[in-house]
Amino acid sequence: MSLKLRDLIRQVRACKTAAEERAVIAKESAMIRTAIREEQEHYRHRNVAKLLFMHMLGYPTHFGQLECMKLVASPHFPEKRIGYLGMMLLLSEQQEVLMLATNSLKNDLNSSNKFIAGLALAAIGNLATPDMSRDLAPEVDKHLSNSNPYLRKKACLAMARCLRKCPDMVEDFVERVVGLLNDRSHGVLITVVQLMTQVLVIDREYILEEGGGQYDGDEEAYYESPTRTAFLKLVPSLVKLLRNLLSMGYSPDHDVGGISDPFLQVQILTLLRLLGANDVKASEEMNDVLAQVATNTETSKNAG
């Protein structure tokens, strides 16, 4: 029988030379291959965990990719969690075996357990291919309006990946993204601002490189695109949000080095930079708050 993960780690740490370490890994890899060949389901999650450890050490682990798919399809959460972790680390979007996970991802996105749905959203955000993005975008979209902020924030990051892989879908999801900017959850808010920034970048690249269907592929077409036009209406809301952050007193949850929520501030400033380009009205609306940011910035503080 193969070793437990902790025993394998202990043996590897006890090795005094690289040759000893390679011998330990080779022996354990052979045991794992045998377990895979004999379909030893009871030890499948343990074997994948050991493969993750070997992967971290730089040893080949490609033979365990299908085991990750089998764990993802398991009804038990502990096994599913190891399966998703293995899938995100041992596979890349170039591998065809990833398509086998599409059905499991769709089922998990509809799970009543928020942690299972969260695992599926995290996997989509890391690994989704263009085909998977097109198939799973409607399921991800449902979670953008989920009552649970834990799932809403994960759905925002997953949607950013889907739209990056299928830029022609951007216009279909603009209204949903716009509505999320009023979310009360801090985690959702910061991911929505990231998603809006990604959408603008994706939209610009799509129009300039592909011509974007009805557009002729020039810079002016991007500045007049429906996506950018919809986001420009949100500049007053973004300015108000940034001003609130600047005038907010000490907030223990999001304060870093005396600066109120610097991560959200940076994300909003990045988005405002994209929206203010080549737009006089938007630039004028954000002028005062940008001057306030520049005045309040303390160069002596890292977070500033």
Question: Mind listing the pLDDT tens digit for each residue in 287-297?
Answer: 998 888 888 77
Range 23-36 average pLDDT? 94
What is the tens place of the pLDDT at every residue in 90-101?
988 888 888 888
Q: Report residue 38 as tokens.
A: 């004999």
Is residue 299 within a helix (H) or strand (E), and if so which, with residue range?
Answer: none
pLDDT of residue 104: 92
Q: What pLDDT is recorded for position 1? A: 59
Question: Which pTM was predicted?
Answer: 0.86
Cα 86 to its chain centre, rounded Å, is 16
Classified as helix, coil or strand, 28 is helix
pLDDT for 211 equals: 59
Beta carbons within 8 Å of 282's beta carbon, 6+ residues apart: 232, 235, 275, 276
Q: What one-character DSSP code corresponds to residue 252?
A: T
**What is the spatial distance between Cα 123 and Cα 109, in angstroms, rounded to a whole number?**
11
Reported as a pLDDT band with limits 50, 70 and 90, residue 216 is low
List residues bridging with 260 in a β-sheet. Answer: 255
DSSP class of 184 = S
Q: To the nearest whole percent, how much of the chain has pLDDT over 90? A: 55
Q: Give first-to-last CA distance, the chain, whole Å.
A: 56
Q: Which two tokens stand for residue 135?
A: 């198939």
Task: Give tens-digit pLDDT for 148-172.
Answer: 999 999 999 999 999 999 988 888 8
Return the number of other C-beta atoms located less than 10 Å from residue 302's C-beta.
10
Mean pLDDT of the chain: 88
Report the distance separating Cα 42 and Cα 2, nearest Å: 12
Give the residue with greater pLDDT, 122 vs 97: 122
Is residue 278 within 8 A of residue 231, CB to CB? The reply is no
What is the maximum alpha-carbon separation in the chain? 70
Distance, in Å, from the CA atom of 89 to the CA atom of 87, rounded to the nearest integer, reads 6
Q: Kindly report, residue by residue over 31-89, the tens digit of the pLDDT.
A: 999 999 988 888 899 999 999 999 999 999 989 989 999 999 999 999 999 999 999 99
What is the pLDDT, as a whole number, of residue 112? 93
Rounded average pLDDT over 138-156: 93
Mean pLDDT, residues 266-280 taken together: 90
